[in-house]
Amino acid sequence: MHNSARAGNRGGLNLTAILGTVRCTVWHVGMFDTFEPALPISCPWCGSVVTDDWQGKSGPCLLLHFRQGERHPVAHRVDEDVRFDPTRFEEFGLPDEFDLVGVCASGHFIQGVGRCRDGVWRETDISAAEEQAAGDAERERVRQVRKSLGY
């Protein structure tokens, strides 16, 4: 049996095992942090509000929960026996800019960018997702017009 491991994209680990003629690739996703924007954010595709926490891998990736407007995490979402004491939360923070992803009730993935000032998460920007949704809507409009004209 031959085993090899190499770095995958986005910080994952691609483990590949070759057993005779059978090859299996497994992506190790790894840990992440969760994020709670200060205000509800609506999906640019369907308008539904993202109700679950946003996720991202640009922070400490320790299953910490960050709330917009707070300098440090507000919770550690793991089993109690391995949970950090809240006094340790001040050891962790966010970079000046970080990626995060939310999922609406319709299943649309909304990519955003969080921005910190003076170490505090102050802004959540989904303008790239809004531009993508607008482009998708325009392509659909053109498709419908072409269809109505018999193209």
Q: Tell me: the pLDDT tens digits for 51-74?
A: 889 999 999 999 999 999 999 999
The residue whose two tokens read 């095992």 is: 17
**Cα 27–chain centre separation:** 17
pLDDT for position 142 = 86
Q: Point out the least confidently predicted range of 2-11, 19-28, 73-82, 115-124.
A: 2-11
What gap in Å lies between CA 72 and CA 87, rounded to an integer?
Answer: 11
24 forms beta bridges with: 17
Of residues 110 and 8, which shows the higher confidence score?
Answer: 110
pTM beyond 0.85, yes or no: no
129, 137 contact by CB (below 8 A): no
What gap in Å lies between CA 81 and CA 103, rounded to an integer?
Answer: 29
pLDDT for position 111 = 95
What distances in angstroms separate CA 40 from CA 2, 54, 58, 116, 145, one per listed residue?
49, 11, 21, 18, 34
Other CB atoms within 10 Å distance of the CB of residue 94:
25
56 forms beta bridges with: 33
Task: Summarize the confidence of residues 109-113 as an average pLDDT.
Answer: 95
pLDDT for position 29 = 59
What gap in Å lies between CA 32 and CA 49, rounded to an integer?
Answer: 22
Q: In the predicted model, is pLDDT for residue 6 greater than 90?
A: no
Other CB atoms within 10 Å distance of the CB of residue 17:
14
